[in-house]
Amino acid sequence: MTTAPNVRFLDRNTPPHVSTLILLAGVSALNMSIFLPSLNNMALYYDADYGVMQLAVSAYLAATAILQVGVGPLSDRYGRRPVVMAGLAIFTLASIGCLFAPTVGIFLAFRMLQAVVASGMVLSRAIVRDIFPPAESASMLGWVTMGIALVPMVGPMAGGILDQAFGWQASFAFLVFAGLAVMALCWVDLGETVSGEGVSFARQLRTYPELLSSPRFWGYAGCAALGSGAFFALLGGASFVSDKVYGLSPLWTGIALGSPAVGYALGNGLSGRYSTSVGINRMALAGTLTAAAGMAVSLVVTLAGVDHPIAFFGFCTFLGLGNGLMLPNATAGSLSVRPELAGTASGLGGAIMIGGGAVLSALAGALLTEQTGTIPLQIIMLMTSVGAAICILLVIRRERRLGL
């Protein structure tokens, strides 16, 4: 399809409106970031070490990666709508569990269950690919993820305000409300975009080798995983850096965490505007180089003795800008390898991305101390950004060699 689909808002007999896709993916982003300014207070509440409490980030990302492997095939077989509705229902119940958990162990168990909301992020991408061809889907994903970028921009700020006003539990009360609201919206607007009866599991298994053996798929997936991995490393270490290194309050931690989201929103806007005309490979390469350059300058500035939160978080804006340019285009590339398995490709690509993020988030939390300051985190973000650039360069080199 090369033209915009016939969409009627709040009519589930047509494909969903773009605002529904934004909110569907946005609630997943919100769940990942809103409580970050509260991690230290949560550790105090449960009398737990920061490293244990940080599992709410790293272990959550690992659970998300595992779940995404199953979400895609299920949606290719049974359709996007039932998988989305089930995921939102479980997420809302899990959020209630987090809100009232009496011990850190029970809290972390419910936190892992919250990971089912990742189905919204996976399937919002797959739905876009169901409707649009590759170049147009990259552009549409740019607009969708620009809207999503507003969530991590305001989410930590909102979480910091809620923490200072009502305590850390208020963030999870807000997640309960968000889950119910988005579930109601999807009930009335999310029309099914998988044609017929879907793709059977047997047929999916027969076509997996072509997807998994594709250098293009792994190049795009590696680019997305490493590029976004820098951001996940930041998520894992930002609360420690803000509190222990810079002595920021939860409110200012939330504001500082909004800096990469500012760049991310701008980058996604540029993707939405230029991906169709410039091409997904060149846009992805521009994004990885932007992120790598920003992280390189950040590290040099810190090594030169400039140790200030504005310097550290300010350069993270370039990380966000680079991801905003790279991620929609790398995602569109990975989904275009086997269009009929868009859900599976989205789930597998997302699992690779989130799984790598979980490792990098945990690594950042383990390496950071008050003595090391921000340097280990900056090195991780620089190395992963460079790795992402190498992945997309390999894709470009292969396409030129094959004359694609």
- Reported as a single tens digit per residue, the pLDDT across 77-117 is 888 889 999 999 999 999 999 999 999 999 999 999 999 99
- Selecting from 3.40.50.720, 3.40.630.10, 1.20.1250.20, 2.60.40.2480, what CATH number does the domain 18-402 have? 1.20.1250.20
Taking alpha carbons only, the member of 361, 344, 49, 45 closest to residue 203 is: 344
The predicted structure's pLDDT at residue 55 = 84
Residue reference for tokens 């690594």: 363
The predicted structure's pLDDT at residue 197 = 61
Contact 235, 33 (CB under 8 A): yes
* 3 state DSSP class of 212: helix
Using CB atoms within 10 Å of the CB of residue 261, give its burial: 0 to 12 exposed, 13 to 18 middle, 19+ buried.
Answer: buried
Q: Identify the residue with better confidence: 114 or 59.
A: 114
The predicted structure's pLDDT at residue 232 = 82
Mean residue pLDDT of the chain comes to 83
Buried b (16+ CB within 10 A) or exposed e, 374-384: bebbbebbbbb
* Residue percentage of the chain with pLDDT more than 90: 30
Is the model's pLDDT at 200 over the cut of 70?
A: no
The predicted structure's pLDDT at residue 1 = 41
Buried b (16+ CB within 10 A) or exposed e, 225-243: bbbbbbbbbbbbbbbbbbb
Inter-CA distances, 55 with 230, 242, 259, 396, 397, Å = 18, 18, 23, 37, 39
Is the model's pLDDT at 340 over the cut of 70?
A: no
Residue reference for tokens 């940080």: 54
Which range, of 56-65, 138-147, 386-395, averages the lowest pLDDT?
Answer: 138-147
Cα 240 from Cα 373, distance rounded (Å): 10
Buried b (16+ CB within 10 A) or exposed e, 335-359: bbbbebbbbbbbbbbbbbbbbbbbb
